[in-house]
Amino acid sequence: MSPRNQNADALWRKLVAAVMDTRDDWRRRVGEATGLPFGRVRALRRLVDGPRTLSELAEATSSDAPATSVLVNDLEAKGLVVRAPHPTNRRAKLVSLTPAGRRVVERERAVTESAPAAFANLSKDDLAALARVLDALGA
C-alpha cells in the first residue's frame, strides 16, 4: 500500500471514530422517540424505499439471515412490517413497511442530531475547510 493510501486509511478511521463514538446520545433519543431498539429502527429505515427480501434486508443491515428473521418476526408482531410472497421467486418473501412502521420512521427522522462539542468548537476556518473536503468527497 502506498504512503498516500495509508494516510487516507488512517484519516478515514479517525473520521469514522469521530462520528460513531459520539452518536450514543442520538441513538438513545431515537429509542425513546420510537420505543424500539436502534437496530429495529435501522431495519425499518432500510424499507422506506420499498419492499426487500429477507436476504436483501440482511445485507442492508449487515446482519445474517437468522438474526434478520428474528428481527422481522419482532417487527411483524408489532404491526410495523408485513411479509408477502415475492412475485417472481416462490422461495422468497418480501418485507414491507406498514403505515405504523412508516410512522416510526417519521418519529426517528424527527430526532435531530447535533454536532458533538469537539466538532462544534472548531474554528470557522476549520469548519470551512472541512466543508470543502466533504463537498469534494460528495462530488
- Quick one: pLDDT at residue 62? 93
- Quick one: pLDDT at residue 11? 87
Cα distance between residue 52 and residue 43, in whole Å:
11
On whether residue 67 sits in a domain, the answer given is: yes
- Quick one: pLDDT at residue 120? 84
Cα distance between residue 76 and residue 70, in whole Å:
10
- Quick one: pLDDT at residue 46? 97
Q: Could you tell me how far CA 54 lies from the centroid of its own chain?
A: 17
On whether residue 18 sits in a domain, the answer given is: no
Going 76 to 78 to 81 to 85, the CA torsion angle's sign is: positive
> Which domain covers residue 32, as residue numbers?
24-112
Task: Judge whether 15 and 29 are in contact, CB under 8 Å.
Answer: no
- Quick one: pLDDT at residue 50? 96
- Quick one: pLDDT at residue 1? 52
Span 78-112, pLDDT tens digits: 999 999 999 999 888 999 999 999 999 999 999 99
Kindly report the CATH number assigned to the domain that includes residue 71.
1.10.10.10
On whether residue 130 sits in a domain, the answer given is: no
Helix (H, G, I), strand (E, B) or coil at 58: helix
pTM of the model: 0.79
Q: DSSP string spanning 109-132? A: HTS--PPPHHHHTS-HHHHHHHHH
On whether residue 42 sits in a domain, the answer given is: yes
Domains: count for the chain = 1
Look at the block and give the residue holding cell 424500539.
36
- Quick one: pLDDT at residue 15? 87
Return the percentage of the chain with pLDDT > 90, whole number. 69
- Quick one: pLDDT at residue 90? 87
Cα distance between residue 79 and residue 99, in whole Å:
9
The kind and range of the H/E element at 97 are strand 93-97
Low-confidence ranges of the chain (pLDDT < 50): none
Look at the block and give the residue holding cell 432500510.
46
Mean pLDDT of the chain: 92
On whether residue 9 sits in a domain, the answer given is: no
On whether residue 136 sits in a domain, the answer given is: no
On whether residue 72 sits in a domain, the answer given is: yes
Task: Judge whether 79 and 102 are in contact, CB under 8 Å.
Answer: no
CA distances from 125 to 19, 42, 54, 108 (A): 20, 34, 46, 32
